[in-house]
Structure 1
């Protein structure tokens, strides 16, 4: 009788794609068995070793069986294997509670402390708790102490190495055990922050390995080190798919068709910018055909070069970095001069054009409304040496940017301190010229703007940002608390700042504000009622309920008249602060505007220098991006709840969560690209036109921001000296 070959029958082998799909389904099924074990990882592994078990599911079965029998009050005996005597008695523990939290006496064995109950002595008189060790005993049942499954995480991590020769039913996966909380559904980690506990949904969407395509004669394979030159030694180029399809369908004869020639055809490759040209020529220089990897615009401008330049600016990138990226990739790229000319000629004017359109639409939307505007300036560098200032006005109800004005210090006689005031004047003038009615303006406590509002805009309500005021009070409290005699004040600093926020939000007039704000001087010394109010209609008592030790945070009250109390009195009754009370009664905050200024860093980083038109264009791009995406809705989970995302603040040392919004849309970029292409098609002169500074360009005032003209380079070289020169 012919011997039968071991293994699967012929014809039952699965393809590579089918095996991968099968593995994926198996992983999904096993993924349903994952649980958390919390900080019991070391105890779990120790129990596994002491019981001489090979697989984690055996440990789980052992512990669960023991819990069930303990709960029923039964005595459990292990099945005798290899001469091990059955167990006849168990230590008593509360059902459902792990030994890690039980208060056992010092007589308890190490095994009891590790969550495994002590077994009866074996035949040799020694205690032996080890159950069967062979694979055949997989289905054996053991008594078990219960470990809370909500505190452990078991992840199957073993790869299926040979599905062709292994049986699914006998496959035993290895398991990784990690720590985790009880409920992490719907909570994701913030990008850029250390990942803590990824959700099951995140793990399921991990990208699977791409199915390996069968190699054909035209597919280049890199399998050994000798093949690396195919990637590192070949140049790359930007190719449009339609052009590639045209090349695939192109038919070129192998010999020259010129009468009397008949020579063979050679293909030459030439890189021009980001494009690549193929040219079919014979040995007699007869050109049979040409092909370009990109569409070509009028006057021979390659479409890829224009799209690369547009993408760099519209995405907020930097040309030098992108050029370096292309260099490492050995990809053709437009030159610095080409990018500069394209940017000046088409890109910057297109941004100005689209912003004017979007601004007109927003003005029409806000017509016939009493507007509340948030205003603030953003410098391009810290300190008092800024060159550019971007002053922004945001409308309160829509949270959209209404006006963006950029200024150069050359426009304020080289004084950076005057930039914010000049930007405010231009922004307000633009809003008023558009016919909008401004009822209130909210700014920080800028002295120049405050004086300007009183003089030129008396009919407009002027409010101050509460956050800036609270920050200044906090700084004063911390500074006062640094004194040796005022250290007790530090414990009250946070509460006093919070009280300022509460007062600004609650008070409706100056009298109420004074009563609540000055009352903190009595509260910190344990006085919650006082005889005389600090204003005609003010309060003479605290507004809180009776306090307990927990309500005060167990903080000690200050001693009335002590140095700490007197230092606090100076801060609370500061004349400059009390004079500004009317500016805080509307409880306004410019937090959204600060968020926009942070968003501007994506387009105009403070680490790079820009020309005035480019800096203006990048500021407008940030506004276009912000206005388009400010109304995004939060993402909801399958159960209808809002998806939250957690992030860690290194400064405060606290975790916080915020709603995850829909992905951003960049429809304004499509509009910009269409405007750029239209400007190119309408251009009759091209990029060779001589550059002329636009009207209002600060470079018309002075070529540089230096107060004196630059000396000759050779003179600077001769005058330069180094301390390290011999």
Structure 2
């Protein structure tokens, strides 16, 4: 009895087990068995596996193996050990049967169709088994790679966000990338021998698609062609191309500058046109989808807590002055310290840049309160006059507080301006002390006692002239102990001087009496200011972005 060797059951393949080819029996797990069978049936209709059916390693992608010798194989180095399949590996590389041909087994050719296991998408690939003899290093005589017109890349309908990509896509493999000089790489590529007849005399041509290098070898003896690509694909896009686009956007960089840097280094890279296409088709929809999911989760958590929320809101324009095109209004839920909503308003929607902050605030309040049903207890904002009026008229049950930092910021500007006037230079030494006194007046007083805040604030006019008792029942004297050190050596201002007359007029203006009373003595908007500082990195001012680009950044 002669035992016939096991052969691969794929159509057009008769491989047996050898040093370079491994055979694998069909899995016993029902799900994997169906997937393997389905792949074979693409080229052998109605085929049914038996207990002895096997497939060879030629029908599996490189990442299906536990240890991938792909680089050694592609460079012509002989692989001498049996490759081990991963437990969930699925064969995807099969030669398409020609119409009208029978299912007889024929010798394997060098080309084939790469079928995705979850869809009908096919990608041409070449499976070779090169063997390279030892040879000395050869100097490179190849010209620089020809750049393909990668800027003309157009995504197919199967790549657009509206298709079922999410159902069949897999996370991109974790890859490392290196900068390799062409002179060094071409020297390595020239060591290649023919994968079929082992002749060294081959013509080599190269093209690039963005960051990817594609090499074609044509054997002068047997005329067979072998192809090698420098990186894997994600769908129909080279991995390096899409990762470069992701890196530019996710780091807040500007595509024009980054790509110009690569061009100056003569590093193969994508074009601006390709970056903006990647951004439009993949990156911006992904960011929008992720934010929508995260926002829905945050709102659901707040709804489950069944408590009134405390909001801090602030606006940000894309450029200083009154020429801004976009305004972003951000809402921070203070107890949770998370951004809960952002509204992007375009100036031409509201009749000018000065109305963008109010419109963004109204949209955010309507979204959180009316649409999502959240109970808003407190809103802390800056001193925006339009907002104060709108809240007073439309949200009478909501407590509106001001951020004390914004009040102090306005006061500091006026004090600095006053200190530059004639006979008022002595005020410079007292500016920080007056600002600190404003903070103390607000933070040390309960919000239910606004008159006490006013009494504490106006007491500073006595303190700076060395009078520490006051004609006010709510705050009859200063609370500090006897002054020592630097505080005692500070030069007191003179009562009834020109400086004191102007300072008293400034400190008792309507807004400096009213605003400290309304200032928050609890949560502040400092976290929101920090978020806006971070936003300036991703969406720098004075740079123009599209509406979607500005919102996502």
Contact 1:256 1:263 in 2 (8 A): no
C-alpha separation in 2, matches of 1:218 and 1:569: 91
Contact 1:404 1:427 in 2 (8 A): yes
C-alpha separation in 2, matches of 1:284 and 1:335: 38
C-alpha separation in 1, matches of 2:426 and 2:494: 10
1:290-329 aligned within 5 A: 290-298=227-235, 300-329=236-265
Shift of 1:560: 2.0
Shift of 1:241: 6.3
C-alpha separation in 2, matches of 1:562 and 1:588: 38
Match of 1:336 among 257, 272, 275: 272
Secondary structure of the residue aligned to 2:291 is helix
> CA 1:311 to 1:218, structure 2 compared with 1: closer, same or farther past 3 Å?
farther
C-alpha separation in 2, matches of 1:487 and 1:412: 44
Look up the match of 2:297: 361
> CA 1:302 to 1:552, structure 2 compared with 1: closer, same or farther past 3 Å?
closer
Look up the match of 2:395: 457
C-alpha separation in 1, matches of 2:136 and 2:309: 66
1:521 is aligned to 2:457 = no
Look up the match of 2:83: none
> CA 1:501 to 1:277, structure 2 compared with 1: closer, same or farther past 3 Å?
same
1:573 is aligned to 2:511 = no
Shift of 1:294: 2.0
Look up the match of 1:611: 546
1:162-201 aligned within 5 A: none
Contact 1:348 1:613 in 2 (8 A): yes
Match of 2:209 among 266, 272, 296: 272
> CA 1:391 to 1:488, structure 2 compared with 1: closer, same or farther past 3 Å?
same
> CA 1:493 to 1:301, structure 2 compared with 1: closer, same or farther past 3 Å?
closer
Shift of 1:439: 1.0
Secondary structure of the residue aligned to 1:485 is coil
Secondary structure of the residue aligned to 2:489 is coil
TM-score, structure 1 normalization: 0.48
Contact 1:405 1:423 in 2 (8 A): yes
1:417-432 aligned within 5 A: 417-432=354-369
Contact 1:463 1:588 in 2 (8 A): no
1:595 is aligned to 2:533 = no
Look up the match of 2:427: 489
C-alpha separation in 2, matches of 1:601 and 1:495: 31
Contact 1:388 1:407 in 2 (8 A): yes
> CA 1:280 to 1:430, structure 2 compared with 1: closer, same or farther past 3 Å?
same
> CA 1:566 to 1:285, structure 2 compared with 1: closer, same or farther past 3 Å?
farther
Contact 1:504 1:587 in 2 (8 A): no
C-alpha separation in 2, matches of 1:385 and 1:515: 41
Shift of 1:323: 1.1
Secondary structure of the residue aligned to 1:474 is helix
Look up the match of 2:110: none
1:546 is aligned to 2:482 = yes
1:372-391 aligned within 5 A: 372-391=310-329
Secondary structure of the residue aligned to 2:418 is helix
C-alpha separation in 1, matches of 2:243 and 2:195: 37
C-alpha separation in 1, matches of 2:226 and 2:359: 61
Structure 1 residues 575-626: Cα deviation after superposition (integer angstroms, max 9, x where no partner): 22212233115354211111111111221112421111111111xxxxxxxx
Secondary structure of the residue aligned to 1:390 is strand
C-alpha separation in 2, matches of 1:430 and 1:560: 54
1:401 is aligned to 2:336 = no
User: Structure 2, unaligned stretches of length 5 or more?
Assistant: 1-133, 149-173, 181-187
Higher RCO (CA < 8 A, seq sep 6+)? 1
TM-score, structure 2 normalization: 0.63
Match of 1:254 among 185, 194, 205: 194
Secondary structure of the residue aligned to 1:378 is strand
> CA 1:341 to 1:551, structure 2 compared with 1: closer, same or farther past 3 Å?
closer
Look up the match of 2:383: 445
Contact 2:314 2:382 in 1 (8 A): yes
Look up the match of 1:557: 492
> CA 1:584 to 1:422, structure 2 compared with 1: closer, same or farther past 3 Å?
same
C-alpha separation in 1, matches of 2:280 and 2:274: 10
1:473 is aligned to 2:408 = no
Secondary structure of the residue aligned to 1:484 is coil
Contact 2:404 2:520 in 1 (8 A): no
Secondary structure of the residue aligned to 1:403 is strand
C-alpha separation in 2, matches of 1:254 and 1:453: 78
Shift of 1:424: 0.8
